[in-house]
């Protein structure tokens, strides 16, 4: 029975270890893979020592090797069980529970075989050191790192000088969009959206009444667009004049890298707007938290495509939905978690545009998750939403050139 437990443990841990050593997305993940392989080999040696101790007795220290193998198997199985407990697979959960219980029993059984322990103090130090290293590595990989904050790209907008067309009937405003990633991790781009809002702004000859301020605040709180309140300026609801992607979904930016692109917003010279506001939005996921297949267009909201009910409840917005397969960053989660998919939602209407992403199991897109679930998913996969704007530009000087 002891031999069976050790052999099954060696195969179980070895499978995870080989995959992590070759495919884990982080250095510590590969260290974990190496540790699992070492535990697997130790379990195999422990099994061989058990056979020698029982039948041949050719190796004088087979008893202590058998004890070390069962202790290593029990500790490693316990740590794997703690990780598997967060997964969705009953099969792996059951297997981990049985192997953990079996290896714990094997430690007790080998300990009762009158095993002589040479140099017990040195052995105790070695066992404690290896156990502390294993626990520290597991804690860093699975507890500290998933909740580490501070990695967030920065989006910058810079406007160039407006240019009149040859017939002086229209003008163009060039806008440079810069993405800076000063962190030490790379990011997948789930979606990157740029839009411009045209606004009519009149100036009052006197300070406005307090009730007018209140009415403005109430109106802007219900709008996708955010505009400042002013004592003299009267901002009317803006209208969307341009919306487009500025990076390809599923592409990425590496650590300590930057990306620059230019877009141009064109308006007629007799535009009714007094100013234009620019916004840039992007949704990212950390490359050390997940692997991502290409994100492709899936469906839209106006051609009978299925959209979540919480999107249908938002009136006056059309939506585009892109999807892609998510891969876990380590082999244990890859085997024990149900397949996850990212959905990137584009929303655009007359009063603004936005892009954001969510990660769910297939068939759960329509379910509204709680705030705690959203935070857990964001921490697990390193989801980051970045918004820049409004960057405003008055059009009075352009319109005066007519």
Question: Could you report the per-residue pLDDT of 251-269, keeping only the tens digit for each?
Answer: 999 999 999 999 999 999 9
Convert the pLDDT of each residue in 292-325 to its tens digit. Answer: 888 888 888 887 667 787 777 777 778 889 999 9
Average pLDDT of 73-80?
A: 89
d(CA 65, CA 33): 22
d(CA 19, CA 79): 17
Query: Is residue 112 classed as helix, strand or coil in its secondary structure?
Result: coil
Convert the pLDDT of each residue in 116-169 to its tens digit. Answer: 555 555 555 555 555 556 656 655 555 455 545 557 899 999 999 999 988 888
How many Å is the Cα radius of gyration of the chain? 30
CB-based burial label for 239 (10 Å; 0-12, 13-18, 19+) = middle
List of residues 6+ apart from 213 with CB closer than 8 A: 229
The pLDDT, as a whole number, for residue 224 is 60
Per the CB < 8 A criterion, the answer to whether 197 and 224 are in contact is no
d(CA 246, CA 350): 20
Convert the pLDDT of each residue in 359-396 to its tens digit. Answer: 998 888 778 888 888 888 988 898 999 999 889 999 98
- State the pLDDT confidence band at 206, using cuts at 50, 70 and 90: confident
Convert the pLDDT of each residue in 208-252 to its tens digit. Answer: 777 877 777 777 666 666 666 777 777 777 889 999 999 988 899
Q: Which residues of 34-56 are buried (b: 16+ CB within 10 A; e: fewer)?
A: ebbbbbbbbbbbbbbbbebbeee
Tokens, residue 140:
């860093």
Q: What is the DSSP string of 161-182?
A: --EE-TTSSEEEEEEEEEEEE-
The pLDDT, as a whole number, for residue 364 is 83
């Amino acid at each position: 029975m002891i031999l069976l437990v050790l052999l099954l443990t060696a195969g179980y841990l070895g499978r995870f270890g080989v995959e992590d050593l070759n495919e884990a997305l982080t250095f510590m993940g590969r260290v974990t893979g190496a540790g699992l392989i070492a535990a697997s080999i130790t379990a195999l040696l422990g099994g061989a020592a058990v056979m020698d101790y029982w039948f041949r007795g050719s190796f004088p220290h087979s008893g202590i090797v058998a004890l070390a193998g069962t202790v290593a198997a029990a500790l490693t199985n316990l740590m794997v069980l703690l990780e598997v407990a967060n997964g969705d697979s009953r099969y792996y959960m059951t297997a981990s529970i049985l192997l953990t219980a079996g290896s714990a029993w094997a430690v007790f059984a080998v300990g009762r075989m009158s095993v002589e322990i040479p140099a017990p103090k040195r052995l105790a130090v070695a066992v404690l050191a290896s156990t502390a290293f294993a626990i520290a590595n597991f804690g860093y990989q699975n507890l500290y790192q998933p909740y580490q904050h501070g990695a967030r790209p920065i989006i910058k907008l810079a406007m160039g000088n407006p240019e009149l067309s040859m017939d002086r009937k229209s003008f163009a405003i060039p806008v440079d969009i810069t993405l800076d990633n000063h962190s030490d991790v790379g990011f997948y781009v789930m979606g990157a959206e740029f839009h411009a809002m045209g606004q009519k702004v009149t100036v009052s000859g006197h300070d406005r009444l307090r009730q007018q301020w209140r009415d403005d605040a109430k109106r802007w709180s219900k709008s996708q667009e955010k505009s400042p309140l002013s004592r003299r300026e009267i901002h009317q609801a803006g209208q969307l004049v341009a919306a487009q992607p500025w990076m390809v979904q599923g592409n990425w930016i590496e650590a300590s890298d930057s990306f620059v692109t230019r877009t141009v917003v064109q308006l007629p010279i007799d535009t009714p707007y007094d100013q234009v506001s620019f916004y840039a939005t992007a949704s990212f996921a950390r490359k050390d938290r997940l692997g991502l297949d290409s994100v492709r267009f899936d469906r839209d909201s106006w051609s009978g495509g299925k959209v979540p009910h919480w999107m249908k409840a938002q009136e006056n917005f059309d939506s585009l939905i892109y999807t892609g397969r998510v891969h876990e960053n380590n082999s244990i989660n890859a085997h024990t978690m149900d397949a996850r998919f990212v959905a990137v939602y584009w929303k655009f209407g007359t009063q603004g545009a936005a892009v954001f992403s969510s990660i769910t199991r297939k068939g759960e897109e329509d379910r509204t998750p709680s705030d705690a679930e959203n935070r857990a998913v964001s921490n697990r996969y390193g989801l980051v939403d970045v918004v820049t704007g409004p960057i405003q530009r008055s059009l009075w000087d352009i319109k005066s050139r007519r």
